[in-house]
Structure 1
Amino acid sequence: MQILTTREQIKQRIARQKTTLTIEQEVRNIIDRVKRFKDAELLMLTKRFDGVTLQALRVSEQEIKEAYNEVSISLLQALKDARGRIQCFHEQQKEESWRIEPEAGVYLGQQVRPLASAGIYIPGGKASYPSTVLMNAIPAKIAGVKRLVLTTPPQANGSVNAAVLVAADLCGVDEIYKVGGAQAIAALAYGTESIQPVLKITGPGNAYVACAKKLVFGDVSIDMIAGPSEVCIWADEQSDLSFVAADLLAQAEHDEDASACCLVPSLKYAESLSIEVSRQLERMDRKEIAKKSIQSNGWIAVVESEEEAIEMINDLAPEHLEIMTINPEKRLDDIEHAGAIFLGAYSPEALGDYMAGPNHTLPTSGTAKFSSPLGVYDFMKKTSIIRYKKEALEQVSDAIIELAKTEQLNGHATAIQVRIQEESE
């Protein structure tokens, strides 16, 4: 891993990459064609990109039943265990409608309702992600979404990964379709003969999926525009080198664009960590992917103080932050920006990815400065409730009329005046 020792080097590595216009134009073309040709375009693009000729886009009930026979008993139990923990955490996020009476004759409130429909995108390609099904579907169902749709690319034989199907069934997903990429996002947003449109799209994906979500936003809601996954580890001289290296590589194996970095207190520790990363890398199953990630996006920064480390973390606003210092809670309140924070040597990111309970769909690329993890609140909408009685309206009428006339909206003023006049007459 590259070792950075100056602030300028570190700033250059924190710089973000943007989606290219070439990708955006290609994605725009895909979306337009799906809107025009619907199912036919989805089938054609599935054959082109996935090498699969499908007879039907929707996964059948029989395919779901058969998927249970393909997963091991231990995997099924692990999915159920994870589901329970994720449900327990997300149940705390539920919001209720409320009403208040701040003064006589005034009734105000907020009505909280679930979205009627939502779509989940689950990536395929280099790996399958049943855990991502759990993380997206569970908060949607807790929110009360009535129609929950999942899309994912088919495998080479035309099927969907069995673990993904089982996870979806365990979470009560209503419809599953064999379609991936930007075309899946277009189908969820605008609908085809087989796929009815949804109101919100969530879930991670590659650059094409992220770009498609950006382009359909406004016609539908989205959770976020996720970039490559990332981890930042803050270590000190007491941090176990093997733990730190393993967590960096766990991040790097996601894909070649994944980012793994570490803040350390000395050049000696940095050099030792770099050696340990190289040693562990040789034993990895996804060695080539992790190696490219580490070479392109992996770095170790030597920091002179806790203050410098905190400043860098808040500047980076990492998706995952692991604080593996001897007293990880000590400066927790100083961390302003991070998607999720893992405290101590025995709280690795992998724990959060699968079993801890908090959502692993997190803001990336610095967006943790203004965004939150996926949650039940993402699948809810709120409506304001306002009721004034005549006497209460009269109390504020002069102020409303003054403000309306200041903004030259005399029709607004008249709407108040006719009611007050009616009362005085």
Structure 2
Amino acid sequence: MSKDISFHKLSDLTAEARAALLQRTEGNLDPYLEKVGPIIAAVEAEGDAALARFAREFDNSPVAPDAIAASSSDFDEAFDALDPDMIEVLTFACDNVRRFHEAQMPEEMWMKEMHPGVFAGDRIVPIDSVACYVPRGKGAFPSVVMMTAIPAVVAGVPEAVIITPPGPDGKVDAATLVTARLAGIERVYKCGGAQGVAAVAYGTETVPRCLKIVGPGSPWVVAAKRLLAGRIDPGVPAGPSEAIILADDTANGRVCALDLLIEAEHGSDSSAYLVTDSAAVAEAARAAIPDFWQEMGEQRVGFSSDVLCGPRGGIVLAETMDEAIAFVNDYAPEHLEIQAKDPHQYLGMIRNAGEILMGEHTPVSIGNFVLGPNAVLPTNAAARTCSPLSVFDFTKRISVGHVTKKGYDQLAPYALKFARYEGFDAHGNALSEMRSQAFAAGRST
């Protein structure tokens, strides 16, 4: 590998150059927004016929309009085709993810007495329907099935489906189907990209319309979600992969290099930085990366070298850990690893990250597959305001109140003054003597 790893010294950067390091592929969706519009319109107008046509055009997949849904025999064949050891791995991982999200579930209802005779609280209910998007273009991702489908099932969503691009054989990846069944979902549809998002936003002859879509995807998927946000809830912003390895001078540079490659190998549109205040760690990592490329396949080397040798990846050297952490918080990465002998000393300083994985034995790979917390995380700096996918994304809160006569007598005078101040006559009348008169008149009839 002859390419040079991108290297940036924070203290030497102009404000514009530093801001450029914070940019992601999905930062400018304008080219995609223009192209996905006609795709969405075609799916709305033609339904399954458009899905089949786009499967041939974009996925090189021979899917017939009447074969959009995976059949029960497809599931059975997937279990027969998949290596038993892999089924064991998927079962283990699904169990960990399920246990985490079961522990995450809130109480079904709570209510507190705010004042004597005044009760208020929340009731938690699942949303009616959701589509879990599972990408496929750069590989098969049963891990995404786990992370999207299991919390939906745990939350009790009555209609949870999976959409995913079909393969060249016109079928759904075997591990995806096995994981779907292990997660508790049997409805899987062969439609990905912008056309898949449109299918669940509008519904087709086969694919049901859903209220929400969750899961990561390409800029095409992100653009479609944005255009259709008024039609379907787009869920946690989850675009191309990104990660920061934050390391102090106690970190092992070669281990940092190993972990830096994890998210960089997802695709050329990914982002990955090693951010450190140690020149020695930075140099050790930079020297090790070509060695590790020798142990990777050509496609993954191509993806990761595009990232680490390009404008959205590489090594960032800070003068101090405070400067390094400030960069991390500005970047708000999807994945953050803290590589240090004592990672806990930095934990309280991190405000913006989708997840924080601490220590040299917690690589992103562990978090992506088997740790338990959700690995569908906010991208493109959305971690400044958004959280990881969770059971909360598949539920909603309904406020509940109950006021007795004793409580009403205390609250009504305050509410009446509010109503009069804001000029709402009916609000005020419902709190006035007219209420007592209405009760009296009702009892006399």
Calculate the TM-score normalised by the size of structure 2: 0.91
Q: Which secondary structure does the structure 2 equivalent of 1:194 belong to?
A: coil
Aligned-partner Cα distance in 1 for 2:387–2:224: 21
**Structure 1 residues 10 and 306: alpha-carbon distance in aligned structure 2, compared to 1, 3 A threshold:** same
- Return the match for 1:84 from 91, 95, 115: 95
- Residue 232 of structure 1 aligns to a residue whose secondary structure is strand
1:261 is matched with: 273
Moved more, 124-133 or 210-219: 210-219
Are the aligned partners of 2:29 and 2:219 in contact in 1 as well (CA < 8 Å)? no
Deviations 1:216-274 (A, max 9, x none): 22322232222321111112333222211111111111000111101222334323321
1:43 aligns with 2:52: yes
Deviations 1:33-60 (A, max 9, x none): 2112111211121121122232310000
Aligned runs of 1:253-332 on 2, under 5 Å? Answer: 253-285=265-297, 286-296=300-310, 297-332=312-347
Match of 2:69 among 47, 54, 58: 58
2:115 is paired with a residue whose SS is coil
1:359 is aligned to 374
Match of 1:3 among 4, 7, 11: 7
| Distance in 2 of aligned mates of 1:115 and 1:259 | 33
Matches of 1:6 and 1:156 in 2, distance apart? 45
In 2, are the aligned partners of 1:105 and 1:392 still within 8 Å (CA)? yes
Which runs of no fewer than 5 residues in structure 1 stay unpaired? none
Q: Aligned partners of 1:11, 1:357: CA distance in 2, in Å? A: 34
Q: In the alignment, which residue of structure 2 is the partner of 1:153?
A: 165
CA contact (8 A) 1:110 1:385 kept: yes
Alignment map for 1:377-392 (pairs within 5 Å) = 377-392=392-407
Identical residues among aligned pairs (%)? 35
The offset of 1:423, in angstroms, is 6.1
Q: Which residue of 2 aligns with 1:403?
A: 418
Distance of aligned partners of 1:16 and 1:49 in 2 relative to their CA distance in 1, 3 Å threshold: closer
Residue 143 (1) aligns with residue 155 (2): yes
The answer to whether 1:220 aligns with 2:220 is no
Per the alignment, in what secondary structure is the counterpart of residue 81 of structure 1?
helix
Matched, 1:69 2:85: no
- Would the aligned equivalents of 2:62 and 2:168 in 1 still touch at CA under 8 Å? no
Q: Structure 1: how far apart are the matches of 2:253 and 2:86?
A: 30
State the one-letter code of the partner of 2:362. S
RMSD, matched Cα = 1.7
Query: Number of matched residues?
Result: 425
Match of 1:170 in 2: 182
- Aligned equivalents of 2:439 and 2:157: distance in 1? 45
CA distance in 2, matches of 1:16, 1:49: 24
AA aligned to 2:105 is: K
Q: Say whether the 8 Å CA contact 1:200–1:220 is kept in structure 2.
A: yes
Matched AA of 2:94 = R
Larger displacement relative to structure 2 (365-374 or 387-396): 387-396
Query: Are the structure 2 counterparts of residues 396 and 236 from structure 1 closer, same or farther at C-alpha, using a change threshold of 3 Å?
Result: closer
Q: Which residue of 2 aligns with 1:182?
A: 194
Secondary structure in 2 matching 1:221: coil
Letter in 2 for 1:14: L
Give, as a single letter, the amino acid of the residue that structure 2 aligns with 1:61: S
